[in-house]
Amino acid sequence: MAEERTFFNEMLDDTGEPRQAYARLAQWLEDKPANFLTKKSRDAEMIFRRLGITFAVYGAQDAAERLIPFDPIPRIISASEWRRLSAGIDQRVRALNAFLHDIYHRQEILRAGRIPADLILQNEAFLPEMAGFTPARKVYAHIIGTDLVRVSENEFYVLEDNTRTPSGVSYMMENRETMMRLFPELFQSHRVSPVEQYPENLRQTLESVAPDPAKSNQTIVVLTPGIYNSAYFEHAFLADSMGVELVEGRDLFVDSGKVFMRTTRAPKQVDVIYRRIDDAFLDPLTFNPDSMLGVPGLFDAYRAGSVTICNAPGTGIADDKAIYAYVPDIIEFYTGQKPILNNVPTWNCSRPDDLAYVLDNLEDIVVKEVHGSGGYGMLIGPTASKREIAEFRRVLMANPSNYIAQPTLALSACPTHVASGVAPRHVDLRPFVLIGDQVRITPGGLTRVALKKGSLVVNSSQGGGTKDTWVLED
């Protein structure tokens, strides 16, 4: 059996004393009666359900809406920790945007031999249709959610860059609102950086990349696949908090190279589309002809420069799992600096040597699908049974290039409300970054927590929960 792994405890140091940022919270937790958090959790659930803050689980029988479990104990990040993190994120998102501009133009990085050309040009996420086109301000990925894990006092690793349509920001906002309702006294005793400016920042970002940024009244829309999408609540939340229309593909049409929405009166021209649908569903004329979701002619209007699509089509190449291993090279190539945040060492199963190593070490490592997401189709060696490993070995050998592998990281743990009281549970962190006229990183983010003891899978589709994330001010 796997022995107890050691991990970094974010609240307590090795002697069992609370770390400085957690000192007040630790005391507060100690002072509260035993059933206090249980009651507060129930209050929180009631709030979430009434507000309709729900998500859908794909493939589940009752595909209807569920709540993501909410843990009422905040996760705390000190001001100095955050400064380092945000510098690393800033560096990374700038490099990724430079990379996107390059591979859709002169492809210097391929000419320099830093990335194998096939890995880009043969990649499904690479859109030849984008070649030679330059979006406003040369920004491709305007909204990024960088997935991070912590393994020690000073070591953070980036797991994924999420440059397509990252979700979860509405949970960051609603978790904070709920915490302020539940525990006003904790906010009095901590100086917590606010997150409520996010919608305003998002709107500024979108306006700054409009085809004509000087225009005074930009028409911005959020494009959703509709009410059955798992993140529909978030789409509605963002449109509402920015004060813009929430549209579906059928609400938009293209006429004379411009995009319009169908209103109760005259059609209204749209300047910026914050799309929450995948590339393949944007425009049936250019991409997937079977799609019912898209807007025929949208891509031509985009290329003609009459509308901005955020994130740009084709940004998926920057968070492709096969490209991930090259991100440190990408950062050095475009910024001339060493990466501030670590990349997780990654084996590409398409390479015979890497595959051989992966097959020999399945019990110790994590294997993921190149194009997978949400914790589906992955193997976590150390917690998997012999049978699961044998099963996965077969699947992996059948199609090795579909997989990458990484060492199992000892995710840090935060105090979490569990049946027996308060116990450490493993967490990750997704801060949200906006890139337009400037790079804006909201202090905080979404902390996901694996509620099962010892579990390292934080995905909500696999029983993970969320926490409010506090960045303290100096």
Partner 1 sequence: MLGRTASSLFWMSRYHERAQNVTRLLEVGFRGAIISHSGQEDGTHWTFALSCSGCEKGFAQKYDELNLRNVAAFMIFSKDNPDSVRHCLELARNNARAVRTSITAELWEAINTTWIEFNEVNPQTITQERLPDFLAWVNQRAHLFRGALLNTVLRDDGYFFSQMGNFVERADNTARILNTQYWTLLPDSDIIEDGTAERYQWSAILRALSGRRSYRYAYPNARLKAFNIAEFLILRTEMPRSLAHCYDWITETAEDLAKFYGSREPSLDMAAEISRDLSEKQMREIYQQGLHEFLTEFVGRNNQFAQQLSEDYNFA
262 contacts 255 by C-beta, under 8 angstroms: no
Q: Give me the amino acid identity at 52.
A: G
Q: Which stretch binds partner 1 (CB under 8 A): 169-177, 229-237, 277-285, 300-308?
A: 229-237
Among 42, 111, 191, 250, binds partner 1 (CB under 8 A): 250
218 contacts 272 by C-beta, under 8 angstroms: yes
Among 26, 151, 180, 236, binds partner 1 (CB under 8 A): 236
Q: Which stretch binds partner 1 (CB under 8 A): 6-14, 50-58, 146-154, 365-373?
A: 50-58
CB of 307 to partner 1, least distance (A): 17
The DSSP result for 137-183, as a single string, is: GG-S--EEE-EEEE-SSS-EEEEE---S----HHHHHHHHHHHHHH-
Counting beta carbons within 10 angstroms of the beta carbon of residue 296, is it exposed (0 to 12), middle (13 to 18) or buried (19 or more)?
A: middle
Of residues 189 through 228, those in contact with partner 1 by CB under 8 A are 226-227
**11 vs 252, beta carbon nearer partner 1:** 252
Q: What is the spatial distance between Cα 134 and Cα 273, in angstroms, rounded to a whole number? A: 16
CB of 252 to partner 1, least distance (A): 10
Among 32, 52, 132, 153, binds partner 1 (CB under 8 A): 52
359 contacts 397 by C-beta, under 8 angstroms: yes
Instruction: Give 247's contacts (C-beta < 8 A, 6+ positions apart).
Output: 221, 222, 223, 224, 261
Residue spans of alpha helices (H) in 21-121: 23-31, 36-51, 79-103, 108-111, 117-121
Query: Is 121 a residue that touches partner 1 (CB under 8 A)?
Result: no
**240 vs 360, beta carbon nearer partner 1:** 240
The sign of the dihedral angle between the CA atoms of 38, 175, 311, 162 is negative
176 contacts 237 by C-beta, under 8 angstroms: no
Q: Give me the amino acid identity at 298.
A: L
* Contacts with partner 1, 144-183, as mask; x by CB under 8 A: ----------------------------------------
Query: Is 50 a residue that touches partner 1 (CB under 8 A)?
Result: yes
**170 vs 412, beta carbon nearer partner 1:** 170
Among 45, 90, 108, 248, binds partner 1 (CB under 8 A): 248
Cis? peptide before 9, omega within 30° of 0: no
CB of 173 to partner 1, least distance (A): 14
**232 vs 403, beta carbon nearer partner 1:** 232
Query: Is 239 a residue that touches partner 1 (CB under 8 A)?
Result: yes
Query: Is 240 a residue that touches partner 1 (CB under 8 A)?
Result: yes
Query: Is 245 a residue that touches partner 1 (CB under 8 A)?
Result: yes
Among 246, 317, 318, 451, binds partner 1 (CB under 8 A): 246
Instruction: Give 296's contacts (C-beta < 8 A, 6+ positions apart).
Output: 253, 254, 283, 284, 285
**284 vs 464, beta carbon nearer partner 1:** 284
Query: Is 262 a residue that touches partner 1 (CB under 8 A)?
Result: yes
Structure-token pair, residue 302: 């985009």
Among 216, 264, 385, 420, binds partner 1 (CB under 8 A): 264
Query: Is 265 a residue that touches partner 1 (CB under 8 A)?
Result: yes
**90 vs 248, beta carbon nearer partner 1:** 248
The sign of the dihedral angle between the CA atoms of 307, 308, 310, 314 is positive
Among 108, 251, 278, 329, binds partner 1 (CB under 8 A): 251
List of residues contacting partner 1 (CB under 8 A): 49-52, 226-227, 232-233, 236-237, 239-240, 245-248, 250-251, 261-265
